Amino acid sequence: MTVTANQARAESRDGRSFSFTAGADDGVAPGDMVVITAPGGDRLLGQLVDVVEPAADDPLTGFGVVIGALDETGGLQRGHRPAFRGAGMDLAGPSELGGLHGTSAGTMTIGTWRTGDVGAEASLRAGGFNRHTFLCGQSGSGKTYALGVVLERLLLQTDVRMAIFDPNADFVHLGSTVPGVADEDARRIADRGVRVLRSDSTRTEGDEPLRMRFRTMTRQAQAATLQLDPVRDQEEYNAFIGYLMQIGPSTEMGALLAGLRSGTPGQQSLARRMENLGMLEWQVWARELPSAADVVTSGNGVTVMDLGGFGDPVEPVAVCLEVVDELWAQRDRRLPTLLVIDEAHNLCGTDPASPVAQRLLDRLVQVAAEGRKYGLWLLLSSQRPSKIHPQILSQCDNLMLMRMNSPDDIAELGQAFGFVPRAMLRASNGFVQGEALLAGGFAPVPMLVQVRERLTRQGGSDVAVPLLDA
């Protein structure tokens, strides 16, 4: 460490924020944790939020915030302190950082915290996932890998129900650990009984079919699936309502359709619509099987839904709609549930590609706005903030930011996550793979972290260029 109490000085007029001066060679950076020793002997824990680039030979200057006071036992009393001048400032070590994390069972070690020249444990509060979380970073920055680390920790340390919407089969191995994982962790993850639902074309041993049931969808979701509008398509909509009455648990689609074809003009149009949309060929219908909504809502389990492998792109979106609608319909049960959506721009984007996608987006906007009080929390991952619907992004209180080169995207994140020091956001353009800024209710303070190794295998992986033999 190069900064010493002799060199670095801090002062504060209000005991909440402080300015500092340090030697020009001192390698302090935004996000670094420091210990300030006030002239009266008080020891304060602070965090640097901005460092000004000095002109040649000038001292380093910058600003920080006071986190709280350290006691002799290493404990931390959060809150501001009396004003101070001429205080010494030193980089904080692991023992001083320990007080931030506390010792509760809900502490999830997610990787290594890089502050100053120290590599301390970076832990999140598991209880801090009781709000919406946005994981952002450019392609290849390590979002899906890091999301897996977070999910593994949640599996190990919480009983939260999880519905994981997985567009690239990245989480289909989430239920089984790789060799070398501690027995206790391997057992706990196996005991959680992660269920993996997949299409007929991607399913392998141990997976279950990913299905939906038209009969139990909401009326609006059914109409969206049929692309029917009650005003524009009056006759057909009317035939659709009558048609619904005829669907029972064992109704055979072919027979029903034959009935519609020989019915009123409205019924005939409805039959043609269903044929034209190719709905009879959809493999996603549950028939006698459980639907994904049944599986997700059957308890507090963890369900991975691999959304790939369907013939019609509307099929997986319709499954997601049925699941989210059902979770919403059961919201009064207040069963803590995390809805995890990787590549979230597909489902939470600004430009839905079909009426089903629009309906799903509307529901997710509602979950973003009101879900928190029912224990329905979103964990969304995407490459750019602008790809996520603004009414969803603005409801996210936790940020996990990985490498991000685009200044426009960083500026947008600054708007959406005003509590994160701008200089720390800007530092993300220098992150290497697996590095992340964690900030919000789940982090004790904004932290720069290298995420830890996975305990389970990431499914989909990048495709390698085939090389010729030398």
Ligand X SMILES: Nc1ncnc2c1ncn2[C@@H]1O[C@H](COP(=O)(O)OP(=O)(O)OP(=O)(O)O)[C@@H](O)[C@H]1O
| Footprint on this chain of ligand X (rule: CB under 6 A) | 137, 139-145, 383, 433-434, 451, 458, 461-462
The answer to whether 381 and 136 have CB atoms below 8 angstroms apart is yes
Among residues 266 and 434, whose Cβ is nearest to ligand X?
Answer: 434
Among residues 268 and 433, whose Cβ is nearest to ligand X?
Answer: 433
Among residues 171 and 417, whose Cβ is nearest to Mg ion?
Answer: 171
The entry of ligand X, Mg ion, none that residue 189 binds, CB within 5 to 8 Å by partner kind: none
The distance of closest approach from Cβ of residue 342 to Mg ion in the complex, given in angstroms and rounded to an integer, is: 6
Check residue 123 and report its DSSP letter.
E
The distance of closest approach from Cβ of residue 470 to ligand X in the complex, given in angstroms and rounded to an integer, is: 24
The distance of closest approach from Cβ of residue 150 to ligand X in the complex, given in angstroms and rounded to an integer, is: 12
The distance of closest approach from Cβ of residue 170 to Mg ion in the complex, given in angstroms and rounded to an integer, is: 7
Among residues 166 and 325, whose Cβ is nearest to ligand X?
Answer: 166
Burial status of residue 460 (CB atoms within 10 A of its CB: 0-12, 13-18, 19 or more): middle
The entry of ligand X, Mg ion, none that residue 462 binds, CB within 5 to 8 Å by partner kind: ligand X
CA-to-CA dists, residue 185 to 214, 300, 311, 419, 455, angstroms: 39, 19, 38, 34, 9
Among the candidate windows 100-108, 138-146, 159-167, 352-360, which touches Mg ion by CB under 5 A? 138-146
The entry of Mg ion, ligand X, none that residue 469 binds, CB within 5 to 8 Å by partner kind: none
Among residues 111 and 116, whose Cβ is nearest to Mg ion?
Answer: 111
Q: How far apart are CA 31 and CA 50, in angstroms?
A: 8
The entry of Mg ion, ligand X, none that residue 137 binds, CB within 5 to 8 Å by partner kind: ligand X
Among residues 145 and 237, whose Cβ is nearest to ligand X?
Answer: 145
Binding positions for Mg ion, 396-455, rule CB under 5 A: none
The answer to whether 131 and 377 have CB atoms below 8 angstroms apart is yes
The distance of closest approach from Cβ of residue 173 to Mg ion in the complex, given in angstroms and rounded to an integer, is: 15
The answer to whether 166 and 172 have CB atoms below 8 angstroms apart is yes
The entry of ligand X, Mg ion, none that residue 141 binds, CB within 5 to 8 Å by partner kind: ligand X
φ/ψ of residue 244, rounded to 5 = -60, -35
The distance of closest approach from Cβ of residue 161 to ligand X in the complex, given in angstroms and rounded to an integer, is: 24
Q: How far apart are CA 348 and CA 379, in angstroms?
A: 11
Among residues 161 and 403, whose Cβ is nearest to ligand X?
Answer: 403
Among residues 137 and 266, whose Cβ is nearest to ligand X?
Answer: 137
Among residues 26 and 435, whose Cβ is nearest to ligand X?
Answer: 435
Q: How far apart are CA 337 and CA 300, in angstroms?
A: 8
Question: Does position 138 bind Mg ion by CB under 5 A?
Answer: no
- What token pair was written down for 303? 């369900």
The distance of closest approach from Cβ of residue 138 to Mg ion in the complex, given in angstroms and rounded to an integer, is: 10
Q: How far apart are CA 470 and CA 465, in angstroms?
A: 15
Residue nearest to ligand X (CB): 434
Residue nearest to Mg ion (CB): 144
- CA 9 from chain center: how many Å? 39
The distance of closest approach from Cβ of residue 428 to ligand X in the complex, given in angstroms and rounded to an integer, is: 13
The distance of closest approach from Cβ of residue 178 to ligand X in the complex, given in angstroms and rounded to an integer, is: 12
The distance of closest approach from Cβ of residue 349 to Mg ion in the complex, given in angstroms and rounded to an integer, is: 15
The entry of Mg ion, ligand X, none that residue 72 binds, CB within 5 to 8 Å by partner kind: none
The entry of Mg ion, ligand X, none that residue 358 binds, CB within 5 to 8 Å by partner kind: none
Kind and range of the H or E run holding 143: helix 143-157
- What token pair was written down for 289? 């099987």
The entry of ligand X, Mg ion, none that residue 387 binds, CB within 5 to 8 Å by partner kind: none
Among the candidate windows 89-97, 116-124, 136-144, 194-202, which touches Mg ion by CB under 5 A? 136-144
Question: Does position 177 bind Mg ion by CB under 5 A?
Answer: no
The entry of Mg ion, ligand X, none that residue 434 binds, CB within 5 to 8 Å by partner kind: ligand X
In sequence order, the β-bridge partners of residue 164 are 304, 340
The entry of Mg ion, ligand X, none that residue 140 binds, CB within 5 to 8 Å by partner kind: ligand X
Ramachandran quadrant class, 206 (left: phi over 0; alpha: psi -120 to 50; beta: rest)? left
Among residues 145 and 328, whose Cβ is nearest to ligand X?
Answer: 145
Q: How far apart are CA 379 and CA 376, in angstroms?
A: 10
Look at residue 97 and give its three-state secondary structure. helix
Buried b / exposed e across 369-392, counting CB within 10 Å, b at 16+? eebbebbbbbbbbbbbbbbbbeeb
3-state secondary structure 338-402: EEEECCCHHHHCCCCCCHHHHHHHHHHHHHHHHHHHHCEEEEEEECCHHHCCHHHHCCEEEEEEC
Check residue 42 and report its DSSP letter.
-
Rg value, the chain, Cα: 26
Question: Does position 144 bind Mg ion by CB under 5 A?
Answer: yes
- What token pair was written down for 218? 């909401």
Strands 161-166 and 302-306: parallel
The distance of closest approach from Cβ of residue 256 to ligand X in the complex, given in angstroms and rounded to an integer, is: 41
Q: Which residues bind Mg ion (CB under 5 A)?
A: 143-144
